[in-house]
Amino acid sequence: MTDKLEAKSKERKEDLINILILICIASVIGIYLICKTVLISKDGVFYIERAQQFSNDPIGIIRGHPFGYPFMIFVSHKFATLFSNSSSPYLWVYSAQAVTLFCRILALVPLYFIGKILVGSRNSFLALLILVFLPYPAEFGSDALRDWPNIFFLACGFWAILWGAKYRSWWVFGLAGLSSGLGYTIREACIQLVIYGIIWLIYSFFQEVRKWGKVKILLAFALLIVGFLIPFAPYSSVKGEILPDRFRFIIKSFFSNTEPAKESNEDPDNYALTIRYSAGVSTKIVEATEKLIEKTSANLMWFFVLPLFVGIYYHFKTFAIKEEKLLMISFVIFNIVFLFLRYCCVNPDLTHRYILPLTVFTIFYIPTGLKLISCKIAQIIHKNTLEVSLDKSQKVFCILIIIGICICLPKLFRPIRIKKQAYLSTAKWLNENTNREDIIAVSDRRIAFYAERKGLFYDKEVPEGARYVVKIMRDENKEQNLDNSAQQVYSEYVDRQEMKKRIVIYKWTD
């Protein structure tokens, strides 16, 4: 009994040390990237503007885009104002970045214990160490973006489901439902946790009812739903709808596009239209697959792609428990299908951010893949027996991890959006040379935000009522004036090395 207690105590200390090491490294990298950020993302300005409006129109903000992340920025900014009286946009920017970094650091805790259940504590630590150094996940964790706040709740809920499934703990499904509901206010896709919980409980009801008992399974199901409804019910009540806008748009787009197939036997034109539509969908699926592979590989800096797939194949073939197989396969399938639906029905684009959940939750299998590859390399180099090669492979394994981290470092420590310094220069000029009541027409909302001026966003047609117009154009574009009444007052190259694009400010003369 004493030995077991000592072993558990030692295990807890090791877990604590591993988590603290990960948190320290992630904090140092995150703070550095925040300090070196040149410009936040376009979405970041959108979230900050919603946070600025939260105190004046909370109901309007809740009814619009998911309010969770803007609300977190709003609270963070309120806390920051206790130490600073500045009304500068930079205080809002730092508040948003601080929230994102804080959530990224917190997410390491549930992610570590997810990895511990799946691949063991050592491999979990090594996997998250690699994750901490990957440039794209680190950049998203120091920008004004909602991805890491979403992953924090996603990780908490997935850990609860995995724990409940493995140890038959029915009560933790309530925590999974609560995490799903809270995450839903940040990104609606967090409802996937409820789906995973239901899938596992249905499986348990038919396959493991003797181990669980029907009462516990039903209680777990009830707690999962109730936990989700606690944040979801008031949110959907205020919003006035149950299905999120994006889901409704996907469903509407899907059914409206497949409608011609119903009459395909009666109308040759409809049949031809259906064939063209099917070909278009097939093309989009192929494009989405290519982008998925490309962005996933870029997120892993290409170096860790082979270890990931080797590790997944070997682990699932040899060590994976049934809880892991069912839940992890469900997770991967759901996220890939959701990405494809988004690409085909909403917006034909897959960025590094959209692939982030898949990157984060499959990262645990990379150390296993690296070990197998290092063992094979050691056998080839030393031409020794398997026993000797296993000893030699440890050195190769360490070398591979060091090489991978070194590949990440140049991009990791590069200031975020360093090439867009001209945007800040333009904003500074507007701030110093225009009046506060002047209205600025911009094609990038960040310029007006940093300039602390009211901005009218436009794509092609310049909106009426603007005093100044900011145009981002190719340098070879010979257009100098919008019309006879506008004059160019400022010009700045976006990238002085390439000299391809520039920002030009026009002013309407009286």
User: Does any domain span residue 335?
Assistant: yes
Q: Last residue of a domain, which of 365, 395, 416?
A: 416
Is the pLDDT confidence value at 256 over 80? Answer: no
Angle at 226 between CA 105 and CA 202, to 5 degrees: 90
Q: Going by C-beta distance under 8 Å and a sequence separation of 6 or more, which residues neighbour residue 118?
A: 124, 162, 320, 324, 328, 364
Residues 475 and 405 in one domain: no
Residues 357 and 392 in one domain: yes
Residues 253 and 377 in one domain: yes
Is the pLDDT confidence value at 510 over 70? Answer: no
Q: pLDDT tens for residues 451-489?
A: 999 989 888 788 888 889 998 887 555 555 565 667 888
φ, ψ for residue 486 (rounded to 5)? -115, 140
pLDDT range class, residue 9, cuts 50, 70, 90: confident
The whole-number average pLDDT for the span 478-501 is: 70
pLDDT score, position 390: 62
pLDDT score, position 264: 41
User: Which 3 state secondary structure label does DSSP give 439?
Assistant: strand
Residues 300 and 409 in one domain: yes
Rounded CA separation 349/292 (Å): 10
Q: Going by C-beta distance under 8 Å and a sequence separation of 6 or more, which residues neighbour residue 41?
A: 143, 144, 145
Nearest Cα neighbor of 364 from 127, 158, 121 is: 127
User: Does any domain span residue 357?
Assistant: yes
Is the pLDDT confidence value at 271 over 60? Answer: no
Rounded CA separation 248/243 (Å): 6
User: In which element (H, E) is residue 323 found?
Assistant: helix 322-341
pLDDT range class, residue 257, cuts 50, 70, 90: low
Residues 427 and 411 in one domain: no
Is the pLDDT confidence value at 3 over 90? Answer: no
Average of per-residue pLDDT values in the chain: 87
Tally Cβ neighbours within 10 Å of residue 390: 15
Residues 336 and 437 in one domain: no
Rounded CA separation 358/287 (Å): 18
Burial class (CB in 10 A: 0-12, 13-18, 19+), 158: buried
User: Does any domain span residue 397?
Assistant: yes
Is the pLDDT confidence value at 263 over 80? Answer: no
User: Does any domain span residue 385?
Assistant: yes
User: Does any domain span residue 225?
Assistant: no
Is the pLDDT confidence value at 265 over 50? Answer: no
Domain count, the chain: 2
Nearest Cα neighbor of 430 from 478, 377, 468, 382 is: 468
Helices (H), 121-171: 121-133, 135-140, 147-167
pLDDT range class, residue 221, cuts 50, 70, 90: very high
Q: pLDDT tens for residues 288-347?
A: 999 999 999 999 999 999 999 999 999 999 999 899 999 999 999 999 999 988 888 777
Q: Going by C-beta distance under 8 Å and a sequence separation of 6 or more, which residues neighbour residue 396?
A: 374, 375, 377, 378, 381
Is the pLDDT confidence value at 46 over 60? Answer: yes
Q: pLDDT tens for residues 374-429?
A: 988 888 877 755 555 566 788 899 999 999 999 999 999 999 999 889 999 999 99
pLDDT score, position 31: 97
Q: pLDDT tens for residues 110-166?
A: 999 999 999 999 999 999 999 999 999 999 999 999 999 999 999 999 999 999 999
The whole-number average pLDDT for the span 18-40 is: 97
Which residue type sits at 11?
E
Lowest pLDDT segment from 21-25, 113-117, 171-175, 248-252? 248-252
Torsion of CA 254, 256, 261, 264, to 10 degrees: -160
Rounded CA separation 350/66 (Å): 20
User: Does any domain span residue 211?
Assistant: no
Residues 379 and 472 in one domain: no
Which residue type sits at 149?
P
Residues 262 and 318 in one domain: yes
Tally Cβ neighbours within 10 Å of residue 368: 24
Rounded CA separation 423/282 (Å): 39
Residues 430 and 394 in one domain: no
Q: At what angle do helices 68-80 and 42-52 cross, to 10 degrees?
A: 70
C-beta of residue 229 within 8 angstroms of C-beta of residue 239: no
**Exposure b/e, 437-459, CB count within 10 A at least 16 = b:** eebbbbbbbbbbbbbebebbeee
pTM of the model: 0.91
Which residue type sits at 389?
S
Nearest Cα neighbor of 501 from 425, 415, 420, 444 is: 420
Is the pLDDT confidence value at 247 over 70? Answer: no
Rounded CA separation 235/185 (Å): 8
Residues 376 and 266 in one domain: yes
Rounded CA separation 232/241 (Å): 11
pLDDT range class, residue 357, cuts 50, 70, 90: very high
Composition of the chain by helix, strand, coil, percent to 5: 70, 5, 20
Q: At what angle do helices 268-299 and 245-258 cross, to 10 degrees?
A: 140
User: Does any domain span residue 432?
Assistant: yes
Residues 283 and 403 in one domain: yes
pLDDT score, position 197: 97
Question: In the chain, pLDDT over 70 holds for what percent of residues?
Answer: 87
pLDDT range class, residue 67, cuts 50, 70, 90: very high
Please state, in angstroms and as integers, the Cα–Cα distance from residue 240 to each residue in 65, 236, 246, 247, 456, following that order: 13, 6, 15, 15, 29
Rounded CA separation 92/40 (Å): 11
pLDDT score, position 392: 75
Residues 262 and 310 in one domain: yes
Nearest Cα neighbor of 192 from 308, 106, 112, 200 is: 200
User: Does any domain span residue 75?
Assistant: no
Is the pLDDT confidence value at 368 over 90? Answer: yes
C-beta of residue 447 within 8 angstroms of C-beta of residue 455: yes
Rounded CA separation 405/84 (Å): 38
Is the pLDDT confidence value at 495 over 90? Answer: no
Q: Last residue of a domain, which of 416, 438, 461?
A: 416
Nearest Cα neighbor of 103 from 160, 142, 130 is: 142
Q: Which domain holds residue 497?
A: 418-508
Q: Last residue of a domain, which of 361, 395, 416?
A: 416
